[in-house]
A = this chain, B = another copy of it.
């Protein structure tokens, strides 16, 4: 059977651009899959948010891992896990690669910030970078620990976020590629894709470039393709749609005369039953009954 890491590699080799949809639990992951995305992003901002805790290394690796594992269990397309800073030093990275790979996760992303980190898009937050040397150590630890060569180690460069500038970003990206990273995620909090495109135009590495256009949300898919970007992560749109919809519904429902007033905002029970394979139980029960009867009972 093809591993999820192999599936991810195959998609990267065969498509112009890979669309990765953000998820935070098995249902959102399954909806990403059902909508036609290529892969799933188990993002730590969104997973922190559904736990109502800050995106600041408050949840532990165990909790992020459980969330990503449940997505793998529920879905057929590959899951890429956002592993923040790697939850410690090289020893922690080794441990996590073994755990995540064993669980059928297709790849991970680790970023070159200092632990504990804060969300990259938060204003006035501290976004201190780890030294290049120390992060290279984590990349080496990660690549050495993987057993399937297709398990993807994405090195996330936070130099533009932290204000260290383009040269630092390019220098680090090259260093991480040399250290064995399988892809570079270059992150930006600008409202336009200008610095991202400046990066990709200067970049002469061989490994794929990944972007997360949360803030430069008007960038067009064709522009990403023409700038040699291979994976685009829609990291938190599902979360924000869910939050918006529930907020609106609840503020109406709390004062509604009856539930009927909010009916048009909701999926039917039937749609949820289908998502959770509720009807398959019936089918499987019938098949099982048939087999049991065939055995003479």
Contact = CB atoms under 8 A, between A and B. Distances in A.
B31 A51 contact: no
A181 to B, nearest CB: 12
A106 to B, nearest CB: 14
B220 A257 contact: yes
Given A27-B50, A52-B74, 18 more contacts: A25-B25, A26-B53, A28-B246, A31-B243, A35-B251, A52-B70, A52-B73, A53-B74, A55-B278, A56-B91, A56-B281, A58-B88, A60-B87, A90-B285, A141-B288, A178-B295, A214-B269, A240-B271
A32 to B, nearest CB: 6
A236 B37 contact: no
A246 B254 contact: no
Interface stretch (A163-171, A199-207, A258-266): A258-266
Nearest to A297: B133
A218 interface: yes
A238 to B, nearest CB: 5
B147 A1 contact: yes
10 contacts: A28-B246, A49-B276, A52-B74, A53-B95, A56-B278, A137-B292, A140-B292, A214-B269, A221-B256, A244-B267
A149 interface: no
A239 B218 CA distance: 30
A272 interface: yes
A252 to B, nearest CB: 9
The oligomer's copy count stands at 4
Interface residues on A, range: 35 or more
A219 B121 CA distance: 45
Given A88-B115, A240-B268, A30 B54 contact: no
A151 interface: no
A233 to B, nearest CB: 11
Nearest to A27: B50
- The 3 A-B residue pairs with the shortest CB-CB distance, nearest first, are A245-B245, A240-B266, A60-B60
A52 B218 contact: no
- By CB atoms of chain B within 10 A, which of A53, A118, A125, A268 has the most? A53
A32 B238 contact: no
A35 B256 CA distance: 12
B288 A90 contact: yes
Given A55-B278, A133-B297, A136-B292, A241 B265 contact: yes
Contacts of A240: 266-269, 271-272
